[in-house]
Structure 1
Amino acid sequence: MPTAARDIPERNGAADNLNRTVSNSFEYPNSLSQSPNATFHSPSQHFQAPQRASTKQLKPFHTEDVKVLLLENVNTTGQKILRAQGYQLEALTSSLPEDELIEKIKDVQVIGIRSKTQLSANVLKHAKNLIVIGCFCIGTNQVDLKYAAENGICVFNSPFSNSRSVAELMIGEIIALARQFPERSMELHRGVWNKVSTGCWEVRGKTLGIVGYGHVGSQLSVLAESMGMEVLYYDVVNLMGMGTSKQVPTLDDLLKQSDFVTLHVPEIEETRDMISAPQFEAMRKGAYLLNASRGSVVDLPALIAAMKSGKIAGAALDVYPNEPGSNGPGFNNDLNNFTEELRGLKNLILTPHIGGSTEEAQAAIGVEVAQALVNYVNFGTTLQAVNMPEVNLRSLTMAEENHVRVIYIHKNVPGVLRRVNEILGDHNVDKQMTDSRGEVAYLMADISNVNVSEIKDLWRSLEDLGSRIRTRVLY
């Protein structure tokens, strides 16, 4: 029976601690991982991943040594996968203020967050043991990706698991706005019967303009066409449209031709106030705007003015420039100084960032991100990482004894590969892959015929290289 794998910890200056770490790693002969080795996007209620009998399951630490902190009520599907590894897991239902987060993050190897937690450079510099971040959501703008990469911290997200949920919300809101559901519902809640048809429309035959034709935009395109809508889309990349949808060359072209405009773009400098007064002026009179991307994409004071003037007939907002950190009172002018004006507008749907908040989406996100975290912690795999090169090697098998997997994250400078291979050259390099992304490079190698007594020297030699960002040795 093979021994449980253990990550050689970073040097702390005490040679006896390092010796003890290496020798102790062979005292747990039955600690094989039961980690899944496939990614699932539609998890069943009783999730159990398949195992390949010949695969040797590596782990970087004793299972009880991996500390995981999950914030913002990460779905239980993800928690189950991480707990199944034997990791020490603490799960909290909300985000934390920066000072509390800094204290919590100091000794964890893994952190999982959603959209509220801000992992800035100031926070991450205190996370000396952190090796990986899981964003259980689409966006990653809440993480300083550059700082994380430069310090050997890999970041994963879930780019498409909630796409269907967001697309369905958009369809529901398009119909609701076209039929003035918000006003009719509020009137009846006040006891007012107001049966009218003026300004109410079918969506069949209307034109939907989709800004950002990614996972959400393309699914929305299919749903809209199935209801008889004509679909146009604008994206900075040339993409093949689904069905009969057509790509237009500019944002203005889309705005001028669309009855409904939906936004599905990331929060970057180029998208800040992407829809402002000039864009509202370009839109058709009586058009509708729906934003399910990020709050900074729409100039909300300009939207308020456009709705008050009658230029825009209705809107739906699921995201805002500043959002409350937890449920409860707080959506007011203290958060954004125009909030009270928004709340007073007619035919405006306001939802609390719930685009991906369905049981199905959150379960799928939990599986997708948790599995990525397990694969990184246990095997060093960076497939679908957002801030690191994508590197993966074939799994080691049970027949491959005395093998070690070396992961060397380093500065992307000339001569590193030669120096690393000089160190690895005393052993047989069975497999090796390296790739770079900007100023950071990621090397993974499986070497054989490694004795226990040699692992410490191997790790030390790599640590002493001037190009080193982080060294991990899995066995």
Structure 2
Amino acid sequence: MAVTEMTPRPESRTRGSSFTQSKPKVLRPFDTTEVKILLLENVNLTAVEAFKKQGYQVETYAKALVGDELIEKIKDVHIIGIRSKTKLTKAVLDEAKNLMAIGCFCIGTNQVDLKAAAEKGISVFNSPFSNSRSVAELVIGELIALARQLGDRNTEMHQGIWNKVSKGCYEIRGKVLGIVGYGHIGSQLSVLAEAMGMTVYFYDILQIMPIGQAKPVESLEELLSISDFVTLHVPETEDTKGLIGEREIMHYMKKGSFLINNARGSVVQIPALVNALKSGHLAGAAVDVYPKEPASNGPHFTDFPDLLKLKNLIMTPHIGGSTEEAQRMIGMEVSTALTKYINEGCSLGAVNFPEIDLRAISQEEKNTVRVLHIHRNIPGVLRTINEIFAEHNVEKQYSDSKGEIAYVMADISNVSQEHLETLYNAIVATPANIRTRVLY
């Protein structure tokens, strides 16, 4: 928790008096050098520096870890930071005895067993919006590259082949772009596409206010049938797995249209895409995500040989958010959330956890502790906890639940050092307890 001092601007002072606000108290019942953080998959340096500034121990790896190596490394760490390749299954989390939180330095969290993590009192944070612009710009580049067959011309030139053609090459101006999923990426993309002269339609299961001149449609099938380009920006859920298959491509998408998938590898059925490109029903496609992806860089992409020789198919190795700007923003956002959770118990932004926070305790509030109680969401817990608090004054308290997990944050005053251990042990002994921390 950063120590800050707030003072007013000079003009806000009144004559004969001064106004200052006391510094917040640093809530750390631990030596910060004892906090161990493991960062995998080249998590951006901004996060590394932020954690080191707090005094935490930080260990970094450029690649994902798997199997016994991952289990050995995760055993005694308090925080682990990953991107999309490291798989944190229940079996792995069972070995993580000290783990308090997981930072997914990316958009998705499907690489983590969120339910298993919550049941162990492990909160999971991600960065759902920081790379939105980077993905949107990649799509714009892919639209132009597909319309002009730039991938094929580039490959031919590298082979020494001069093939200057205009047949089958188009401007994107005046074309219809259909966006499936109108969230942060889809809405930013619609603005960029309109600026380039495209007409934008979108389909989303939620009612979302259009930006600019974009127009919603009532069904996926309607969107596919009117679009020259279809681009996907949906999360991986049971409803989106296999969303685009033979029926959607061959029966609804226009002959000569283009498909772009920068969402999740499971959203498009690869055999259907291959057949549509081979038959010429699709004029081209761009794929940045795959049902199965290698855990590290190198000559490992061997699971989809049918894709490799197709014409006007742009294939990229899941680089939608791989820009310096996006990774810096992600590093800052996730490291800040994790630091606040370690130091203050703030769970705002957690994806598998109740989101709660309280203002910082002032340094003037002597003998005040912050109790952070993660427990199973069953009746009677708050009554039991408040009975334990009864001998002290509850300055502030906030509780919330999410599914089977509940979280209480309470600032308790008049807690002497000799009573601190008694208070902690009493809470830990309650039947619903999953994990309890006391900050002071």
Specify the alignment match of 1:22 in structure 2. Answer: none
Deviation at 1:215, TM superposition (A): 1.2
Q: Which runs of 5+ in 1 are unaligned?
A: 1-32, 38-51
Are 2:291 and 1:321 aligned?
A: yes
How far apart are the structure 1 equivalents of 2:68 and 2:199?
Answer: 50
Q: SS at 1:270's partner residue? A: coil
Specify the alignment match of 2:9 in structure 1. Answer: none
Alignment of 1:165-244 (within 5 A): 165-244=134-213
Deviation at 1:35, TM superposition (A): 7.0
Are 2:404 and 1:439 aligned?
A: yes
- What do residues 307-336 of structure 1 show as CA deviations (whole Å, max 9, x unaligned)? 11111000000011111111111111xxx2
Deviation at 1:59, TM superposition (A): 2.2
Alignment of 1:304-383 (within 5 A): 304-332=274-302, 336=303, 339-383=304-348
How far apart are the structure 1 equivalents of 2:242 and 2:248?
Answer: 10
Specify the alignment match of 2:437 in structure 1. Answer: 472
Q: SS at 2:239's partner residue? A: helix
Are 2:99 and 1:134 aligned?
A: no
How far apart are the structure 1 equivalents of 2:139 and 2:390?
Answer: 57
Are 2:267 and 1:293 aligned?
A: no
Contact 1:94–1:326 (Cα < 8 Å) also in 2: yes
Aligned pair partner of 1:76 in 45, 56, 68: 45
How far apart are the structure 2 equivalents of 1:53 and 1:98?
Answer: 49
Specify the alignment match of 1:13 in structure 2. Answer: none
Specify the alignment match of 1:113 in structure 2. Answer: 82
- What do residues 13-37 of structure 1 show as CA deviations (whole Å, max 9, x unaligned)? xxxxxxxxxxxxxxxxxxxx54799
Specify the alignment match of 2:226 in structure 1. Answer: 257
Aligned pair partner of 2:254 in 270, 274, 284: 284
Contact 2:258–2:282 (Cα < 8 Å) also in 1: yes
Give the count of matched residue pairs: 424
Query: With structure 2 as the length reference, what TM-score do the two structures score?
Result: 0.95
- What do residues 389-437 of structure 1 show as CA deviations (whole Å, max 9, x unaligned)? 1100011111112110001111111111110000011111000000010
- What do residues 373-402 of structure 1 show as CA deviations (whole Å, max 9, x unaligned)? 000000000101100011000111111121
Specify the alignment match of 1:411 in structure 2. Answer: 376
Are 2:36 and 1:67 aligned?
A: yes
Are 2:417 and 1:452 aligned?
A: yes
Contact 2:4–2:23 (Cα < 8 Å) also in 1: no
Specify the alignment match of 2:11 in structure 1. Answer: none
Contact 1:34–1:84 (Cα < 8 Å) also in 2: no
How far apart are the structure 1 equivalents of 2:22 and 2:44?
Answer: 29
Contact 2:4–2:24 (Cα < 8 Å) also in 1: no
Query: With structure 1 as the length reference, what TM-score do the two structures score?
Result: 0.88
Please report the RMSD computed on the Cα atoms of aligned residues, expressed in angstroms. Answer: 1.2
Q: Which runs of 5+ in 2 are unaligned?
A: 6-20
Contact 1:95–1:326 (Cα < 8 Å) also in 2: yes
How far apart are the structure 2 equivalents of 1:369 and 1:354?
Answer: 19
Deviation at 1:189, TM superposition (A): 1.2
How far apart are the structure 2 equivalents of 1:241 and 1:385?
Answer: 28
Contact 1:110–1:133 (Cα < 8 Å) also in 2: yes
How far apart are the structure 1 equivalents of 2:410 and 2:399?
Answer: 8
Q: SS at 1:450's partner residue? A: coil
Contact 1:77–1:366 (Cα < 8 Å) also in 2: yes
Contact 2:22–2:364 (Cα < 8 Å) also in 1: no
- Percent identity of equivalent pairs: 60
